Amino acid sequence: MTRRFHLFHCKPDLAASALVDLVTFIGAGLVENGFTVTHGPEIPVGAAVLCFEGTYPDEETIRRIRSQGAVGCLVTEIISGGRFYDWMGHWDGGVRWQHFERSAGHFDFLWTTVPQNLEILGRYVRPHFIEIGYSPLIGIPDDVEPDIDFSYFGKMNPYRERILSDMARHFRVVAPGGTSNAAERDRIVRRTRFNIMLKQSPDWPLPSATRLASILQLERAVVRDWTLDQTRQSEAVPMAAEGQDFTDYCNEALKQDWRVLRGDAVDAFKRLRMKDIMEDA
């Protein structure tokens, strides 16, 4: 079996892209299992290759890869109604699903960060659920005393803006939206007592696995809104009750010692190890 793994993407500035955490955590788990890991658009000869849903090599390249090693895909979007769920309309989920289907028959393995996707992906090849867990190879925490009560990173939309606007009337909230650089994001996470996790819409079923992992990896506390579904990772972190006002929830959190809340969540997160997750995959 090959001991080389290539994470295929076409991002010229990975640190400024949404893929940075996936590449970082999955890459770390593979390295811990003895793989040599590379990433980028140039695919080395003889490596197993992981594509990220939405960006695939052409069919001729996939055939070449399969003649030398395995090729697979990581699906991160929710599949619903024969399309990827694009509730905000920022991209066409139907077209994106069609592109995936054209390539899916060529993959030797399928991974997904969304457990609800497993049944549908099983039509193509047996899929595996990939959680995002702790790795000692990533993000060294520090003992800097936080000077920010709450911060939030992520794309803005009406649901998130409404919650953050209400919070800003009561607390000091740093919310620059997306970040231009993962290092800058991590710097603010370290300075924050409670890092805010908000789902994409009122009916979104899961919190972001990569965002949650990137905060817990740096050993900082999290406040998050209610979601219907949970994973082992999300169960490490308390959440607001269903129907609870999020500002009220955050006010209660602020009355507590953030170090205690952080410690319980981080301890649980560290039991979910990327080494074990990737070994099982």
pLDDT tens digits, residue range 125-136?
999 999 999 999
**pTM value surpassing 0.75:** yes
CB 148 within 8 A of CB 193: yes
**Average pLDDT over all residues of the chain:** 92
Q: What is the DSSP letter of 113?
A: S
CA distance 252 to 258: 11
Say how far apart CA 9 and CA 7 lie, in whole Å.
Answer: 7
Residue-wise pLDDT for 237-266, tens only, equals 999 999 999 999 999 999 999 999 899 999
Q: With contact defined as beta carbons under 8 Å apart, do 8 and 55 qualify? A: yes
Residue 166, pLDDT > 80, answer: yes
More confident residue, 94 or 139: 94
59-103: pLDDT as tens digits? 888 888 888 889 999 999 999 989 998 876 677 889 999 999 999
Rounded Cα gap, residues 90 and 112, in angstroms: 21
Place of tokens 């301890």: 267
Name 185's Cβ contacts closer than 8 Å, sequence gap at least 6.
153, 179, 214
Q: What's the length of the chain?
A: 281
